Amino acid sequence: MTISGVFTALITPFKGDAVDYDGMRNNIRFQIEQGINGILPLGTTGETPTITREEKKNIIRTHCAYSRTFFHLSYIFIKVSITRSSVISC
């Protein structure tokens, strides 16, 4: 499989101290509407060390579930390491 195109490492939006899942879905939808080829949850914006393992799992699940509703999204980063011994797949 060849992976090509433009991918966005998305931020994880927060409201106060909690992950903003509605804001996350809005970010995903905006990227898809702009023609992005793929998205990378828990990208390189620095929040990953500050959130819990359960939040990371929920973020990945939200990205996977919401992105599947858009048939033209070519790729999503479907395996994200949570710890050295734990991987989540869509």
What pTM value is reported for the model?
A: 0.73
C-alpha 80/C-alpha 26 separation (Å) is 21
C-alpha 72/C-alpha 18 separation (Å) is 30
Please count the residues of the chain: 90
pLDDT in tens, 35-84: 887 787 886 667 777 888 888 888 888 887 877 665 445 445 544 444 44
pLDDT in tens, 18-46: 999 999 999 988 988 898 877 878 866 67
Please say whether the beta carbons of 39 and 10 come within 8 A. yes
Query: What is the pLDDT, as a whole number, of residue 86?
Result: 52
